[in-house]
Chain A
Amino acid sequence: KQEVTQIPAALSVPEGENLVLNCSFTDSAIYNLQWFRQDPGKGLTSLLLIQSSQREQTSGRLNASLDKSSGRSTLYIAASQPGDSATYLCAAFTGGGNKLTFGTGTQLKVEL
């Protein structure tokens, strides 16, 4: 059974800092991995999807990497801003691609 863990559970950084969020999964036979952000009381916003054949995916200030052999993905946020404050979730696709297992999330706070 796939298990997805995100450490730390919460993170507070000053504005402008570069930061890395971590995501670990137990079953390396994943299809894709997707990163989301969730603002309080809101739905999930898709940030990036990394296909199993890719090692990195970039969108603006965000860069996500995937290392299947070690069971890890990271989300790098450059020059953090208060508007980046949210909970970040990673999710691994397994079971033929139709099963999506979510991590427990990292709650990020970027302070002025």
Chain B
Amino acid sequence: NAGVTQTPKFQVLKTGQSMTLQCAQDMNHNSMYWYRQDPGMGLRLIYYSASEGTTDKGEVPNGYNVSRLNKREFSLRLESAAPSQTSVYFCASSDGLAGTRYFGPGTRLTVL
């Protein structure tokens, strides 16, 4: 039982490049989330998926897109990376929107 896994662990991009962050959970959870964590800003919700087939914007969705590929997988795409997107990205899952949230180990992204 791996919980929530994320790939890659680290990534360096140049401005304008695109990439997809992958997330998978093996707890059979319905809901999945993408957060970013920045010093002094705390954790902020980018997008979430309440259940398979649905996605909704969070607090800071601009510049990102998501895909709920199936119940297990939820990906985050940066179409044209900007330095302001340098951050640590966390994926999380829960059994229902108000259930215990379980977080992945994070992806450390630097955009030059």
Contact = CB atoms under 8 A, between A and B. Distances in A.
Interface of A: 31-32, 34, 36, 42-46, 49, 89, 91, 93, 96-100, 102-105
Given A43-B90, A44-B90, A104-B42, A98 B97 contact: yes
5 contacts: A42-B105, A43-B105, A96-B98, A97-B97, A98-B48
B45 interface: yes
Nearest to B96: A97
B106 A43 contact: yes
B71 interface: no
A46 B102 contact: yes
A16 B46 CA distance: 40
Nearest to A36: B103
Nearest to B100: A49
Contacts, number: 46
Contacts of A89: 43
B101 A100 contact: yes
Given A96-B97, A102-B42, A43 B104 contact: yes
A32 B98 contact: yes
Contact of B98 (A31, A36, A42, A44): A31
Nearest to B106: A43
Given A44-B103, A104-B42, A105-B42, 6 more contacts: A42-B105, A42-B106, A44-B90, A93-B98, A98-B97, A98-B98
